[in-house]
Structure 1
Amino acid sequence: MTIFLIGMPASGKTTIGRLLAEHLQYAYFDTDEIIASLEGLSVPEIFATKGETYFRQLESDLVSNWKMTHTVIATGGGLPCYMDNMDRINQIGTTVWLKVSQPELVRRLLTEPNSRPLYALKNEKELISLVQEMYKHRKNSYQKAQIRILCQHHSPEVIVKKIVRKLYQ
């Protein structure tokens, strides 16, 4: 089984992905980390030097060529929303949308500004606007997920248990 975690930035894909992989004894991958490693540049550097279209093509190529099983993959927040990536990952494996409210996403982004360069220079009002716009653009793709997990007010460990229950229902 291959499990793709999708969701907005700061929805917990990395944290949940690592814990879920450990629980299932699967390998863990992060699409942004794979692309950064292959390109020798960080994701913001790829966007700055080669552009978003180039980056989105790398994401699509990565998904199209995915062959490994017994993996948990944390996708970049935008990966499901471009080209036919959402349809592809639904065919390859099981997709899990980590759903977090917009106010909670803003709160998380405000409390970890240094870990996310794109959001670091934004004040709360700008972040609210950015998150609302992103969510509006991405919601239709996220809604195609095979499993939806409401993550609000739950620890990562509880969320992992909820995912495992849904996977084996």
Structure 2
Amino acid sequence: MPGSGKSTVGVLLAKSLALGFVDTDLLIQQSEGRTLQAIVDTEGYQALRRIEERVLCEVSGGHRVISTGGSAVYSERAMAHLSALGVVVFLEVTLPTLRQRLGDFSLRGISKPPEQSLEALLDERNHLYRRYADLTIVSDGRSQHEVCEAIVAGLPEEWRTS
């Protein structure tokens, strides 16, 4: 979900594990030459999901932390690809926490139907996040560093010493 801490915690995790870091939202923006919101505004949320799937499936190699957009889970193909690359981590947050972190989320380039509420989006995606996650970390009430530590502790040994 947007506001779950994927990018911030991803950078901390990459530093902690001495790995590279990739933010696929930035890869999408580089590939398309425009922001996520511009894609949604001009072509709609489904176009953003198609672009995201393509970009995610182009990510190669291991030994790095990959922060995906929150809608990555709508693509079985992309999630299978990411799962083959490593451990898929779900940063679980509650609706009140998301509302606090996001404020006005209308300009965030979120891949969702215009009429869908944040609550409905969270409900819809949480089911998918749990389906694909190898590791779920509850991040409510934790600092970004504590979330990072919880991820490291939950990783298989071979990932902690790579």
User: What is the TM-score normalised by the length of structure 2?
Assistant: 0.83
Structure 1 moving runs of 4+ over 4 Å: none
Q: For residue 165 of structure 1, what is the aligned residue in structure 2?
A: 153
Where structure 2 has 5 or more consecutive residues not aligned to the other structure, the ranges are 110-115, 158-162
Structure 1 residues 55 and 83: alpha-carbon distance in aligned structure 2, compared to 1, 3 A threshold: farther
- Aligned pairs for 1:92-131 (under 5 A) are 92-110=85-103, 113=104, 117-118=107-108, 130-131=117-118
Structure 1 residues 73 and 86: alpha-carbon distance in aligned structure 2, compared to 1, 3 A threshold: same
CA distance in 2 between partners of 1:167 and 1:105 (Å): 25
Percent identical among aligned pairs is 30
Asked if the contact 2:36/2:108 (under 8 Å) is kept, the reply is: no
Asked if the contact 2:61/2:85 (under 8 Å) is kept, the reply is: no
Q: Are positions 1:35 and 2:28 aligned together? A: yes
- Aligned pairs for 1:14-163 (under 5 A) are 14-110=7-103, 113=104, 117-118=107-108, 130-144=117-131, 145-163=133-151
Asked if the contact 1:60/1:83 (under 8 Å) is kept, the reply is: no
Residue 67 of structure 1 aligns to a residue in which SS?
coil
The aligned amino acid for 1:47 is V
Asked if the contact 1:149/1:163 (under 8 Å) is kept, the reply is: yes
Give the drift of 1:10: 0.5
RMSD across aligned positions (CA): 2.0
The aligned amino acid for 1:142 is Y
Give the drift of 1:107: 1.3
Asked if the contact 2:57/2:81 (under 8 Å) is kept, the reply is: yes
Give the drift of 1:116: 6.4
CA deviation vs aligned residue, 1:106-151 (integer Å, no higher than 9, x gap): 11112xx4x86149xxxxxxxxx72211012212210020000011
CA distance in 1 between partners of 2:57 and 2:129 (Å): 18
Structure 1 residues 69 and 116: alpha-carbon distance in aligned structure 2, compared to 1, 3 A threshold: farther
